Amino acid sequence: MTTTSARPVAWKLLLAFAIIYLVWGSTYLAIRFGVREIPPFLMAGLRFTIAGLAMWAWLRVSGTPSPTLREWRDATVLGTLMFLIDYACLFWAEQRVPSGIAAVILAMIPVCITLLEITFLRTQRLTLRLALGLAIGIIGVVVLMNPWASLGEAALDRRGVIALLVSCCGWSVGTIVTGRLTLPASKPMSAAAQMLSGGVQLLVLAAIAGEFAHFRMQNISSIAWLSLVYLIIAGSIVGFTAYVWLLHYESPTRVGTYAYVNPVVAVILGAVLGGETVGRRTILGAALILISVAAITTIKRRQSIPTTSNVSREAGLKAVADD
């Protein structure tokens, strides 16, 4: 339940919203800067292992119980779906796809979740509005991928786009199964356990892919290291703290507006700081996808399964909110 007692002063609320809007939106560009020099699986693994371990240690010192063996097991399942699959694909794709496009495509996660609910779980009925929302989102992806109507922009790397769609699927499946798993009662501890387990799995993947053999710390620029530090501290720990704090004073619906703002922030920062092209194709595809997400997420949903997860899409963290 959202708590409204002892409401903080307005500037604190505005600051927290600014963090989840701007910081989470900027993490896509930080990833792109980092993976230019740091192998993608290794960078993702370092980000979430360090952030997860730091959060776990802080919570333990503050008196929060550590997860039980069963909770660790289930957190590891989500770590596989929502970090190993999701972020491995995202970091790998950002070597090939502009950061703004990556953020726009990952905004399709509610569309993927809805498709799973309709086709496999049978927990969502296909209405006309829902069908239109799904169709608009799919058309948006087609616009971005279509090499014959690029509207003046360079064609996107199809492997990168496919990896981003796999990323959406991994996160969506994780969201669906969250309600069927046993996780720590403390949402911050649950998120820390998922991050830590997912981060370790990403490091294992990096080792299997041979990334450690080709990694030379002395060859990494200060920009790439700063990107990694930014992702760990600002993107994961600070962003998560602001998000959970906001949920005590604002409704989940209002806090969830970050899902519409982050792609816009990512596209703007990618163009201004990353030199990424923002043409008619990007604007049209992004507009269609965001319209689709707005149409789908504002539909009153059945209560049989959760539509949000315990971990957030781009800080790597988010708590399940009870409305």
What's the confidence (pLDDT) of residue 32? Answer: 97
Q: Write the pLDDT tens digit of every residue in 190-244.
A: 989 999 999 999 999 999 999 999 889 989 999 999 999 999 999 999 988 888 8
For range 84-95, the mean pLDDT: 96
**SS3 label, residue 94:** coil
pLDDT of 320 above 50: no
51 burial level (CB within 10 Å; 0-12, 13-18, 19+): buried
Is the distance from CB of 140 to CB of 289 less than 8 angstroms?
Answer: yes
| Ramachandran quadrant class, 210 (left: phi over 0; alpha: psi -120 to 50; beta: rest) | left
pLDDT of 75 above 90: yes
Is the distance from CB of 305 to CB of 179 less than 8 angstroms?
Answer: yes
E runs forming strands in 125-247? none
How far is CA 308 from each of CA 4, 15, 61, 95, 304, rounded to the nearest angstrom? 21, 23, 28, 28, 12
What is the C-alpha separation between 301 and 108, in angstroms, rounded? 17
What is the C-alpha separation between 10 and 182, in angstroms, rounded? 36
pLDDT band at 148 (very low <50, low <70, confident <90, very high): low
Q: Write the pLDDT tens digit of every residue in 262-300.
A: 999 999 999 999 999 888 888 999 999 999 988 887 776
DSSP letter for 137, please: H
How far is CA 151 from each of CA 97, 100, 135, 268, 275, rounded to the nearest angstrom? 17, 17, 21, 19, 18
Is the distance from CB of 244 to CB of 188 less than 8 angstroms?
Answer: yes
pLDDT band at 114 (very low <50, low <70, confident <90, very high): confident
pTM to 2 decimal places:
0.87
Q: Which two tokens stand for residue 202?
A: 């990403």
The more confident residue out of 124 and 170 is: 170
Estimate the share of the chain in helix, then strand, then coil, as percent rounded to the nearest 5. Answer: 70, 0, 30
What is the C-alpha separation between 158 and 156, in angstroms, rounded? 6
What is the C-alpha separation between 20 and 16, in angstroms, rounded? 7
Is the distance from CB of 42 to CB of 212 less than 8 angstroms?
Answer: yes
DSSP 149-194: G-TTSPPPPHHHHHHHHHHHHHHHHHHHHHTTS---SSHHHHHHHH
What is the C-alpha separation between 70 and 194, in angstroms, rounded? 13
Query: Which of these, 37, 32, 31, lies nearest to 219 by C-alpha position?
Result: 37
What's the confidence (pLDDT) of residue 252? Answer: 73
Longest alpha-carbon distance in the chain: 58
